[in-house]
Structure 1
Amino acid sequence: MAARDKFHEAVKQGLIKEQWVITHDPLNLKFGEYDQVQIDLAAERVLGAQKDGEKIAVEIKSFLNDSAIVDFHTALGQFLNYRLVLEKNEPQRILFLAVPVYAYDSFFQRELPKAIIRQYGLKLIVYDPEEEVITQWIS
Structure 2
Amino acid sequence: MPAKDFYHEIVINALKKEDWKITDDPLTVHFGDIEYFVDLGAEKIIIAEKKNIKIAVEVKSFLSDSPTSEFHSAIGQYINYREALQADESDRFLYLAVTSDIYQTFMERKLPQKVIQKYQIKLLIFDSESEVILKWIN
Residue number in structure 2 paired with 1:54: 53
Could you tell me the TM-score, scaled by structure 1's length?
0.96
State the one-letter code of the partner of 1:13: N
The farther-off stretch of 75-84 and 128-137 is 128-137
The Cα of 1:49 is off from its aligned counterpart by 4.6
How far residue 90 of structure 1 moved from its aligned partner, in angstroms, is 3.9
Deviation string 1:96-116 (CA, Å, 9 cap, x unpaired) is 000111000110111000000
Matched letter for residue 17 of structure 1:
K
Report whether the alignment pairs 1:13 with 2:4. no
Amino acid at match of 1:89: D
Whether 1:95 aligns to 2:94 is yes
* Aligned twin of 1:79: 78
* Aligned mates of 2:40, 2:130 — CA distance in 1: 19
**Aligned-pair distance for 1:69?**
0.4
- Give SS of 2:121's match: coil
How many percent of aligned residue pairs carry the same amino acid?
47
Question: 1:37 is aligned with what amino acid?
Answer: Y
Structure 1, residues 9-34: CA drift from partner, whole Å, max 9, x if none? 000100000000000000011111x2
Give 4+ residue runs of structure 1 displaced > 2 Å after superposition.
49-52
Determine the C-alpha separation between the residues in 1 that align with 2:96 and 2:79.
10
Q: Which structure 2 residue ranges, 5 or more long, are not aligned? A: none
Select between 77-86 and 125-134 the one with higher mean Cα deviation. Answer: 125-134
RMSD (CA atoms): 1.0
How big is the shift at 1:48?
A: 1.1
What displacement does 1:50 show?
A: 4.2
Q: Could you state the TM-score of these two structures normalised by the residue count of structure 2?
A: 0.96
For 1:121, the equivalent position in structure 2 comes to 120
Letter of the 2:66 partner, please give it.
Answer: S
